[in-house]
């Protein structure tokens, strides 16, 4: 199952949710301000990210800038507690599935969250005369295109 960590007012979060909805891909949304992350979730996100704090923590966030906090010098436990108390320091959206992890919205990269059965449809370039043009173009219904070369 795909989990999307979001926050209110985040345009990229809205784009990710809409992209998933448009393709009928089920997901769980976790608003990081309503549902506070527990220690194991934060550690799991850090473990899954390629670059640790660089991928997950916004060094431009207000609290980090104002208090001149160096997250790279924190122990893991200190970092986890800091994020729990200050979820606004996390970059958003964070999209995670069993096999994939992405921070932010990227038109090209988000395709990794397409189920395998829809990837061939997404890669296929339909023409307007295709009977499944809308489904193929929008990767919505999972129908095979009848006019494949």
Respond yes or no: is residue 10 known to be catalytic.
yes
CB 48 within 8 A of CB 96: yes
CB atoms within 10 A of CB 136: 27
Residue with tokens 């069993």: 98
CA distances (Å), 120 to each of 2, 107, 123, 125, in order? Answer: 20, 17, 5, 10
User: Looking at the DSSP assignment, which residues form a beta bridge with residue 2?
Assistant: 27
Contacts of 38 (CB under 8 A, 6+ apart): 84
Q: Give me the catalytic one of 10, 126, 130, 136.
A: 10
Q: Within 13 Å, how many C-alpha atoms sit on residue 10's CB side? A: 23
Which residues are marked as active site? 10
């Amino acid at each position: 199952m795909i989990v999307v960590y979001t926050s209110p007012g985040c345009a990229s979060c809205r784009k990710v949710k809409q992209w998933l909805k448009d393709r009928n891909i089920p997901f769980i949304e976790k608003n990081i301000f309503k549902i506070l992350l527990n220690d194991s979730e934060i550690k799991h996100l850090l473990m899954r990210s390629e670059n640790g704090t660089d991928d997950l923590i916004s060094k431009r966030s207000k609290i980090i800038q104002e208090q001149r906090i160096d997250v790279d010098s924190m122990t893991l436990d200190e970092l986890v507690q800091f994020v729990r108390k200050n979820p606004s320091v996390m970059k958003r959206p964070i999209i995670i599935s069993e096999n994939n992890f992405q921070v932010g919205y990227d038109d090209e990269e988000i395709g990794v969250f397409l189920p395998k059965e829809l990837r061939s449809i997404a890669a296929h370039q339909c023409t307007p005369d295709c009977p499944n043009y809308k489904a193929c173009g929008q990767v919505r219904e999972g129908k095979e295109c009848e006019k494949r070369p």
